[in-house]
Amino acid sequence: MPEKDRNGAIEVDSVTWEKVVEKASLPVSVMFFSPACPHCRIIRPYFEQFAREMEGRMIFVILNIAANAWIGERYGIRATPTFKWFCNGKPVQELVGAVYPALLKKISEDVLVYGKECAENSTNLQYEITGYG
């Protein structure tokens, strides 16, 4: 598993994504970013602060979609920053674009309370990605 950076968030890539996000035992908050995104640079310190504040209750993950385009395509990421929250490997909430830090924190807190129930009541999609044919 990748190490947390000094700011509390875990930077993942396509190799570590499944283990850290989809198979996590805790809820996961993901910030999809691109290096050229000015709003990403502004909101990242807040995201990392929430990672420290909620340590042990929620995992905070950062993914560079410029370097990991397949994951961005898989989850329909069309703009950065995009924030998605996962419970039991299922996305349960999403915010796109420049958002207020207070809104990020509030949704993270709500996912801690309601996310697992939401994921358990959602249909589990079983699909195989094999390409063409």
pLDDT at site 119 = 60
pLDDT at site 30 = 97
The domains located in the chain, with CATH, are 10-120 (3.40.30.10)
Token pair in block for residue 66: 């410029």
pLDDT at site 88 = 86
Q: Which amino acid is at 2?
A: P
pLDDT at site 114 = 81
pLDDT at site 89 = 87
> pLDDT of the chain along its 133 residues, tens only?
555 556 789 999 999 999 999 999 899 999 999 999 999 999 999 999 999 999 999 999 999 999 999 999 999 999 999 999 999 888 989 999 989 999 999 999 999 888 767 666 655 555 555 555 4
User: DSSP readout, 36-80?
Assistant: T-HHHHHHHHHHHHHHHHTTTT-EEEEEETTT-HHHHHHTT--SS
